[in-house]
Structure 1
């Protein structure tokens, strides 16, 4: 029977930058200048001098063991070593292995000397050029990993043992099909004893039987009496015990499994035959100290439990073969897993061969985990070099790869190329990056016109969608973390504050160190006080955006689920719902309101209302678990006596819409202010779901009759200004303020001579006259970079107007489409080559930045409201969409009124 000895712990370690260890006979003589490390060991985690080290490194450990019994073997097992390794025992070769994610082992029976010190030497090679090996995001986006990074153990086994087991549940027949392989052909007579019991009740057998055994491999079917299904809400696990015996040898092998079936029909995912809607998070498996593994089982449990508390039912393990312990806990805790092979970069014959071997090793290792319901082959054509749509060779390769994988594992769904053009797939998934509120209309249009109405567009030309389930498997928005917490954890700024990715991730907005330097500029320190306050507002903006993006998908039940990017921050990439240390960000307690199984939400909401305006909004209930209940929906506008309720009878409906369920007239208010619509679903005295929408209500009060000259703008603006009480004058001599979208020389001379001018620059570079102002147009459609963006405003400059520093729903419809760039920037040409543009790098220092924009870690900066002293006068330039919204948008109207009043009084 098996007996295992853990070899994790203290080993000796030594780098070999000149690859001299073999020449100097280190496998025989030992390591001459080593130091102790703890295995599992990722040498980049040593930080000092090791973060960028590539090439050869050596490990050594001395062990003393007893002699194996007759017909026993001693096996040395590694769960994973990155990337290539050679192993010696007592100076003699035990074997070698290539592949950074897959387990391997060597029979060292003949190399061991019993009851004497035995020297194990491991040489690890991780090449600097890793473009042709499966790496995932290590080194390309984040810190590389190298070394003996997973568990190592020694195991005594009888010389006949179970090598692998694959268990396929058959729910229709209440049985399992078991395919197992032995390491050797058994000697007659040989037998196989099978026992199945609940994992938590090993003494309770649901099946027990004995079979004759004659071959190395065998497939048998075992009935499961009183079958209990594995489901996220009840992750029931069984344990299969196999005991193989022949004349002198015996081996006992244990394998857990769950009775679970995943399928799809007519665009609907089915888990155990019932509709499944995915609420997922991308999870990349990088960590602050250990880099690529969680240090303890408690840490794994905490992470999965936090994910469930936020409403998630699935984690997409992004281009990483996750460590076995994590998958075991996903099985136990009921977290679905979308597994994905680590990619390579360069398309070559050898890289494809390595990739396929690594992927099938992963599938073989993880075959019995009921939590895994989807395999991905590629992500966004990484490794296919981004020409899949036009390259027939790669299309054929991918279709054949799908067929081979499906033949090996027909029990799971397969995604051929996650997020981008599909060839042959069980899932039609999309990666679509928008932000909100700025792009909410574009997001709605994308969902309706691109994703739902044209699924064929997500396949290579000539291939049509076949009613595969539609999943938005990447989207999301950034929220900056607390830098103080980062410093407290590391004692200083960590190595990754200088981005560890390749040249494709060296932009300024991906550099935390640069962000800290830039915080003192662009009005940020004046508006937010310190970086911690900015981070809090950034997280609140992230919460607001993700809420809106998710709710639009949940209004559309044809979308079978979503996977947000991502569960936690990873080094410089801060779009996690948790920070890098797996601590919740702002708004954590409200995440289930829009991301839980049962969600109530309002539709057709107008966020900014005039007092006296009548509204009629729908209520939508998204019921992923098919809950049945009778109760009521109650709604209220906070701070008012406006409220209502209506009964609901939910009979397992997955999606319900109640049209015009919320009807009211916006209240009279003395001044503009923030309000909330509160929604609550109540049954049997219990709150089942609740949600809210942010609103403003504004009075239509006349403004002081300030003399204003309006030139070159749409003529309706002057009419609307006059209707609001402003005095429109033709002569600049009579005007206290000039409003124009035409900044020519005469306008500038007016300012230089003491005039006050508001330059309405919402049309950006399309303006006929704009002086020396240059504008950068923000991308209107899908754009990963823009999801890291942050619009901000000095709310104090506008007095008591309801404005959030991070600019929320109160400015929906008036967000700027252009900014005045503070940094160099680029945009792609129609030929695909980037065009680089200069910027006025000191304009922020010559201006008061009242509203601005940045991406990520305060990079790619710009202004959207600037005030400048020019000569004897004042110039206020704004790219907010105020002129076109005047008189219609309550907050936009008051902002322009306030600008006029402020400028006239300066």
Structure 2
């Protein structure tokens, strides 16, 4: 990839916030500039993502640690470096231009970070938590030379209580060691590959989501889960806590439009069932959110408090009047249609340059008339899902794939036949641990309606076991066992709630009379219509789409044909479809938008009208 160097001055602020004092180093830093970049990449004041990163459980006493860190790249197995080689901008992967480094690491090397911070505790008994939104893949954290913890997993948030590692005085040192074997290891890694080509993209190593610290009391809330029971009109609320005693309890208060509609006191380990009266349902057309406050109380004293929210919605399946299973939202059929969204950026790779940039993709998807997004083999920061919650977009959440190599038969219009991959016990354990961690971290968000453990048989193993575990672990959502992957195994019945076919470029579906009696039928990928836009491509030559066009008019005409062909399929039994894709990604030019987000390839009003026709198809449910 060709790069140019552009000098920019970064002005870093001194933060004084609720007892924390963070003084970043003020120093000019060169930014590597890719061949193309998004409009937000030049807005250096926003690159620190300086907003609270966990909207599902918000506290006021926190400090963002994004910005300039020292970095070094050493051979794997070395001790922490005595000297660091330069500055890296967190939260951008070291391979990205926005990191200011733009270097590949690989499995034989490790990436080291160091940051000096000042921490002033307003209460000596308070605990200090160090949070990481995501680090790919293995992160070992040291505070003042002492190991605070080790985490493996590139997509789930984690934290360590660093209180016992803080030394006298305010000055503290945080060091992070990162190792990531990319596609040379068995771990989940999505589309990353050592040598990018075709549908495989640049590796992502290191810290790629926000790093932050917060102060909590000795008795505090660790985790909150609010789940709706639509049919009963209640929210089920649970919380994990630290330090709570038998004389203390939890309390949840639910509000709608600023007015309290439910309150319940409960004990740790219990699920509070909060009745909210006449419910306000969440739909893509009206994505109403309830506010929530969860507290630990001791008598009349509030020991800890977090803000949260939820929505009253239900995802389910039921047969239509012809006996074909249909996917329902709030007990009504709604055809779900959205783009395959990979969440890659030419300048930040896995990380959007700013919250405004991240929001742009979601808002444009909504403006185009889609009601769903399939988040493809990647997990986004929590704030991304908050935006889909509040803007009203259904989300299908993929598990990032890894450890490829099993048998897969894929032919146009033919359901996947094949065998499960035999993975090592280590590989299986890594997958199961991270899949559970992802579900734990993101099952709060009501916009997520479908879990997708596997894609196109990539690393697909023990399909029945993984699918049934996923279904039992979260009964509030449907499970698409293997989008476009193997559904028919030797001697095994089809598992999961959904039959999902991939077909390019045209819209097709499996025979509903054969496959639609027990599972919902969806078209998990199709389209992929390509149009390179001069001056907005990752590389000038050898770009590709599943079917390529030379003009916007040709592209739009073909897309119109696809939409018109979808309507009889919906009537016949199709419940959802996913168009490839939201944006171009590296050498792929089959996006609705260019990779830099500067050109939208379609007329948005035309798209919206075409998509609205899909939602008008009426289906009677038994």
2:310 pairs with one of 243, 257, 261: 257
Counterparts of residues 866-885 of structure 1 (less than 5 Å)? none
* 2:483 equivalent to 1:426: no
Q: Which secondary structure state, in structure 1, belongs to the residue aligned with residue 360 of structure 2?
A: helix
The equivalences for 1:224-373 within 5 A come to: 224-246=276-298, 250-266=303-319, 267-346=325-404, 347-373=423-449
**Alpha-carbon deviations, 1:15-50, whole Å to 9, x = none?**
11x23641xx53xxxx41331222102100148761
- Corresponding residue SS for 2:254: strand
Q: CA contact under 8 A between 1:11 and 1:60: conserved in structure 2?
A: yes
Is the counterpart of residue 208 in structure 1 residue 263 in structure 2? yes
- Residue 416 (structure 1) aligned to one of 481, 493, 506: 481
Asked if structure 2 preserves the Cα contact closer than 8 Å seen for 1:71 and 1:249, the reply is no
Kindly indicate whether the alpha-carbon contact (under 8 Å) linking 2:91 and 2:351 is maintained by their aligned counterparts in 1.
no
Residues 334 and 19 (structure 1 numbering): CA distance in 2 closer, same or farther, change over 3 Å?
Answer: same
Find 2:202's aligned residue among 119, 139, 143.
Answer: 143
Query: What is the CA–CA distance in structure 2 between the aligned matches of 1:109 and 1:472, rounded to whole Å?
Result: 50
* Aligned CA distance change for structure 1 residues 299 and 550 (closer, same or farther; 3 Å): same
Task: Kindly provide the CA deviation profile for residues 583-615 of structure 1, in whole angstroms up to 9, marking residues without a partner as x.
Answer: 444432454266322x2xxxxxxxxxxxxxxxx
Equivalent in the alignment of 2:554: 541
The match for 1:83 among 137, 158, 174 is: 137
For structure 2, list consecutive stretches of 5 or more residues without a partner in the other structure: 1-58, 320-324, 405-422, 488-493
Q: Which residue of 1 aligns with 2:53?
A: none
The reply to whether residue 376 of structure 1 matches residue 452 of structure 2 is: yes
Paired with 2:593 and 2:260, the residues of 1 have a C-alpha distance of 42
Work out which of the residue numbers 531, 537, 552 in structure 2 matches 1:480: 531
- Is contact 2:262–2:276 with CA below 8 Å preserved after alignment? yes
Change (3 A) 1:159 1:307: same
Q: CA offset at residue 69 of structure 1?
A: 2.1
Contact 2:398 2:454 in 1 (8 A): yes
Inter-CA distance 587–107: structure 2 relative to 1 (3 Å threshold): closer
* Residues 181-200 of structure 1, C-alpha deviations (whole Å, 9 max, x = no match): 2124x2232122221113xx
Give the counterpart of 1:218 among 270, 276, 282: 270
Conserved? CA contact 1:414–1:427, under 8 Å? yes
Q: Residues 112 and 178 of structure 2 are in contact (CA less than 8 Å); yes or no, is this contact kept in structure 1?
A: yes
After superposition, the Cα gap between the structure-2 partners of 1:165 and 1:455, relative to the gap in structure 1 and judged at 3 Å, is: farther
Matches within 5 A, 1:452-531: 452=511, 455-456=514-515, 466-486=517-537, 497=539, 512-514=540-542
- The 3 A distance-change label for structure 1 pair 262 and 453 is closer
Structure 2 counterparts to residues 882-893 of structure 1, below 5 A:
none
* Structure 1 counterpart of 2:17: none
- 1:407 maps to which of 472, 488, 512: 472
| Contact preservation (8 Å) 2:341, 2:373 | yes
Q: Give the 3-state SS of the residue equivalent to 2:135 in structure 1.
A: coil
TM-score normalised over the length of structure 1: 0.55
CA–CA distance in structure 2, aligned partners of residues 552 and 535 of structure 1: 19
Q: Which residue of 1 aligns with 2:232?
A: 173
Aligned with residue 564 of structure 2, among 551, 571, 593: 551
Contact 1:87 1:95 in 2 (8 A): yes
CA distance in 2, matches of 1:594, 1:245: 52
Q: Deviations over 1:29-87 (max 9, x none)?
A: xx413312221021001487614655301111001111362542111111111110111
Secondary structure of the 2:475 match is coil
Deviation (angstroms), 1:328: 0.7
Q: Give the deviation of 1:545 after TM superposition.
A: 2.3
Q: Within 5 Å, give how 1:658-807 maps onto structure 2.
A: none
Q: Is the 8 A contact 2:532 2:543 kept in 1?
A: no
Give the drift of 1:115. 3.3
Residues 279, 222 of structure 1: alpha-carbon distance in 2 compared, 3 angstrom cutoff: same
Per the TM alignment, residue 173 of structure 1 is displaced from its structure 2 partner at its CA by 1.8
Tell me by how many angstroms 1:137 deviates.
0.6
Cα 1:591–1:428 change in 2 (3 A) is: farther
Answer yes or no: is the 8 Å Cα contact 1:68–1:156 preserved in 2. no
Contact 1:77–1:103, Cα closer than 8 Å, also in 2: yes
State the secondary structure of the residue aligned to 2:235.
Answer: strand
Q: Aligned match of 2:117 in 59, 63, 75?
A: 63
Q: Secondary structure at the match of 1:45?
A: coil
Aligned length: 520
CA contact 1:282–1:317 (8 Å) conserved in 2:
yes
In structure 2, the CA distance between the partners of 1:125 and 1:173, relative to structure 1 (3 Å rule), is same
Q: CA deviation at 1:273?
A: 1.1
* Matched-pair contact (CA < 8 Å) for 1:380–1:417: yes
What pairs with 1:44-59 in structure 2 (closer than 5 Å)? Answer: 44-46=95-97, 50-51=103-104, 53-54=106-107, 55-59=109-113
Counterpart among 11, 14, 19 of residue 76 in structure 2: 19
1:114 offset after TM fit, Å? 4.6
Matched residue SS, 2:563: helix
Q: CA deviation at 1:161?
A: 1.4
State the alpha-carbon separation in 1 of the partners of residues 104 and 393 from structure 2.
33
Query: C-alpha distance in 2, partners of 1:268/1:535?
Result: 33
Which residue of 131, 153, 157 corresponds with 1:103? Answer: 157
Q: Please give the alpha-carbon distance, in whole angstroms, between the structure 2 residues aligned to 1:102 and 1:455.
A: 38
Task: Tell me what 2:587 maps to.
Answer: 572
Distance 2:584 2:260 in 1: 44
8 A contact 1:66–1:114 mirrored in 2 = no
Q: Which has the higher contact order (CA 8 A, sep 6+)?
A: 2
Structure 1 contact 480–535 (Cα < 8 Å) conserved: yes
CA 1:654/1:50 → structure 2, altered by over 3 Å: closer, same or farther?
same
| Separation (CA, whole Å) in 2 of partners of 1:305 and 1:265 | 31
Partners of 2:468 and 2:496 within 8 A in 1: no
The question of 1:6 aligning with 2:64 is answered yes
Q: Secondary structure at the match of 1:189?
A: coil
Q: 1:138-169 CA distances to partner (integer Å, 9 max, x unpaired)?
A: 12601110111101111111122122222221
The SS at the match of 1:552 is helix
SS at match of 1:239: strand
Shift of 1:14: 1.2
| Higher helix proportion (structure 1 or 2) | 1
CA distance in 1, matches of 2:352, 2:183: 27
8 Å contact from structure 2 (residues 503, 526) kept in 1: yes
> Are the structure 2 counterparts of residues 317 and 128 from structure 1 closer, same or farther at C-alpha, using a change threshold of 3 Å?
closer
